[in-house]
Amino acid sequence: MEILCFWFLKFMYYAFIGYLIEIFFALIKDHKFINRGFLLGPYCSIYGVAGIVLAWFNPELNILINFVLAIICCGLIEGLTGFILDKIFKMRWWDYSNEPLNLNGYICIRFMLLFGLFSLIGIYFLNPLYEELYEIIGNPLCMILAGIILIFYLLDLVISNILIFKIKKTIDPKDAKNTTLIINTKKRMLLSIFR
């Protein structure tokens, strides 16, 4: 059970860092706070998956080899996730169609290179930091923390899926690639629940 706790918290650690990255880029691009993730909470699961993959990278390897491997892994994760979300929901949470050297708008060279750089930060800095934090907090507290976060995460998965299927019924199919419209519709539906 402890090993599951360790890996789940590492997944959430990277998912939260990814959320912060997305918020930062939205602030720069749109000059406002936007939760661009599929889920409602402060985490982006795709970054959590990438973080788990990066945890298996060897920091002893040449930095260039890790960079190239990270680009390949992150490209596969982003491309597959984008494709799967598109096929299941017929919607896009990102679209790189206007970027040079893109593959069906799911991935592009510019962001793959950027993710490669972020991955090096993960491999050489964030992974060791996580392991130190995990040791400092200790197993009993980490187990409680993981249990609480898991409950909220699963609840978020259910609510977000319900909202996305409702959004799918309300927006025009031609707008299914409009990330901002999807996010704003999700926000409006969520707020209407609490009125």
Q: Kindly write down the DSSP assignment for every residue of 145-160, as one continuous string.
A: HHHHHHHHHHHHHHHH
Q: What is the pTM of this model?
A: 0.89
Q: Give the chain's largest Cα–Cα span.
A: 55
- State the CB neighbour count (10 A cutoff) for residue 172: 8
Give pLDDT tens digits along the chain (195 positions): 889 999 999 999 999 999 999 999 888 887 877 777 788 899 999 999 999 999 999 999 999 999 999 999 999 999 999 999 888 888 888 889 999 999 999 999 999 999 999 999 999 999 999 999 999 998 899 999 999 999 999 999 998 888 888 887 777 767 666 666 777 777 777 667 666
d(CA 158, CA 89): 14
Amino acid sitting at position 136: I
Quote the CA–CA distance of 177 and 181 in Å, as a whole number: 9
Token reading at 78 = 């982003």
Distance CA 50, CA 54 (A): 6
Q: Which residue has the tokens 């919607």?
A: 91
Q: Per-domain residue ranges for the chain?
A: 2-193
What are the structure tokens assigned to 43, written together? 């985490």
